[in-house]
Structure formats: structure tokens, C-alpha cells
């Protein structure tokens, strides 16, 4: 929450947050800066309907409305109209209510934007669990950023290799294999697919016995 207040809002960008970050002062600042946002509405939110948009219920969109906030403080913090979309997720069966300030995008696109937020969270969760940064070489901002970007770039390169070679092993397994064979002179495909490159060792008929019986 503290970082969001010093975050530089870019006009034309879309910011997707969970309802735990719902703050109408911050949302209105994004709106005035020319940015778009998608967030979840709280159950006890007091609003009044201004206009209803036609929707296709077969797509999962239950309703699309233009609303105004009713609460005295919330109406003062966000005095303009908001777009409210009620969506039934076919995968989970849950009904989600979205708030946003973008009236140009279709309602299903708004729902898809919010769903993509979870993919980003999963990506950061993977980074926290698997990114190989045991310690930082320095504490200045430039060095920390550079080291993090190098680690991320390494993971992305391995992900590209995994996709190109159509490997069934997880990305974490591939990283582990390469970490122990990084100084070996072998092709990446050989290191990651050793079972496809095995050759039988030649046998020598004139091999002498160590012990004569």
C-alpha cells in the first residue's frame, strides 16, 4: 500500500488490483492521470445505478452498469462515474463484481484482465521460491536491480530452451541440471536429455583379468 502511493502512474496503462487494495482516493488519482484500473468491489459498497448496458448473459456477464458512489466520504473521494460489471466465472461458479473506469473495452475483456492478474502473482511466487539469489553482491539500487534482472533473464532463457526442446522436466529441474554441469563442454540438449545421447562404452576383447584363477 505504501509503495503504491509513490508509484509513477502511466497514462494509458491498466492497473489491476485485488479488493484488498480498494482505495477511492488512489483510484481517482489514477483516473485523473489518464490511466485505467480494474479492481474488485466490496460486498458492503454503497452505490446507485445510473445506467445499465446491454449484456450477453450467455457469456457469463450478468450485468454491466454505470454507477455512482453513495457514501459521503467515498463520493467525495471519487466523484465521477464508475463502471460496475457482475461476472459469473464458469470455471469456479463464483460471481465476481468488478469496478473499472474503462468504458471502451468489452466486459469480457475486463474480466480477462483481472484473471491475468493471478498469472502475474503466480510468476512472482515462482520467482520468490526458485530465483537463485543467495546473496547480493552489493546493496546499492543499481547492483541489486542488475542482479535480479540477470537471474530473471537466466530463468527466461532456460524456459525458452525447455520449450524448444519440448522437455517434460520442470523448469526447476532443468535449472538444477544446468547448475551442476555449467562448466562441462556439452550441448545443452545433451545435458538436459542425457537418455537420448547415451552411447555404449566399447568393450575390449583383449582386456586382461586382474586376477588369474
With 0-12 / 13-18 / 19 or more C-beta atoms within 10 angstroms meaning exposed / middle / buried, residue 72 is exposed
Residue 2 confidence (pLDDT): 76
Residue 167 confidence (pLDDT): 80
The least confident of 85-94, 107-116, 174-183 is: 174-183
Between 128 and 95, residue with greater pLDDT? 95
Check pLDDT > 70 for residue 32: yes
DSSP per-residue letters across 20-36? GG--HHHHHHHHHTT-E
Cα 62 versus chain centre, distance: 26
* Secondary structure of residue 121 in the 3-state scheme: helix
Cα 93 versus chain centre, distance: 22
| Residues linked to residue 38 through DSSP beta bridges, in sequence order | 16, 100
Domain boundaries of the chain, sorted by first residue:
2-117, 131-196
Check pLDDT > 70 for residue 201: no
d(CA 155, CA 146): 14
pLDDT confidence of 97, banded at 50, 70, 90? very high
Residue 29 confidence (pLDDT): 92
* pLDDT 10s digits, 138-160: 888 898 889 888 888 888 888 88
Residue 209 confidence (pLDDT): 62
DSSP per-residue letters across 127-196? HHHH---SS-S--SHHHHHHHHHHHHHHHHHHHHHHHHHT--S-HHHHHHHHHHSTTS---HHHHH-GGG
Amino acid at each position: 500500500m505504501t509503495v503504491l502511493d509513490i508509484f509513477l502512474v502511466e497514462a494509458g496503462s491498466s492497473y489491476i488490483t485485488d479488493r484488498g487494495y480498494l482505495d477511492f482516493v488512489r483510484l481517482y488519482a489514477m483516473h485523473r492521470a489518464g490511466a485505467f484500473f480494474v479492481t474488485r468491489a466490496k460486498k458492503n459498497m454503497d452505490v446507485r445505478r445510473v445506467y445499465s448496458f446491454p449484456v450477453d448473459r450467455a457469456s457469463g456477464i450478468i450485468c454491466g452498469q454505470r454507477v455512482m458512489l453513495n457514501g459521503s466520504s467515498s463520493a467525495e473521494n471519487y466523484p465521477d462515474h464508475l463502471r460496475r460489471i457482475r461476472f459469473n466465472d464458469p470455471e469456479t461458479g463464483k460471481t465476481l463484481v468488478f469496478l473499472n473506469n474503462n468504458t471502451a473495452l468489452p466486459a469480457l475483456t475486463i474480466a480477462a484482465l483481472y484473471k491475468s492478474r493471478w498469472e502475474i502473482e503466480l510468476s512472482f511466487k515462482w520467482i520468490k521460491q526458485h530465483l537463485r539469489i543467495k546473496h547480493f553482491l552489493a546493496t546499492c539500487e543499481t547492483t541489486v536491480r542488475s542482479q535480479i534482472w540477470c537471474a530473471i533473464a537466466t530463468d527466461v532463457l532456460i524456459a525458452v530452451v525447455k520449450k524448444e526442446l519440448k522437455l517434460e522436466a520442470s523448469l526447476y529441474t532443468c535449472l538444477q541440471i544446468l547448475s551442476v554441469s555449467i562448466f562441462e563442454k556439452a550441448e545443452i540438449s545433451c545435458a538436459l536429455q542425457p537418455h537420448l545421447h547415451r552411447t555404449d562404452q566399447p568393450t575390449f576383447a583383449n582386456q586382461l583379468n586382474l586376477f588369474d584363477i
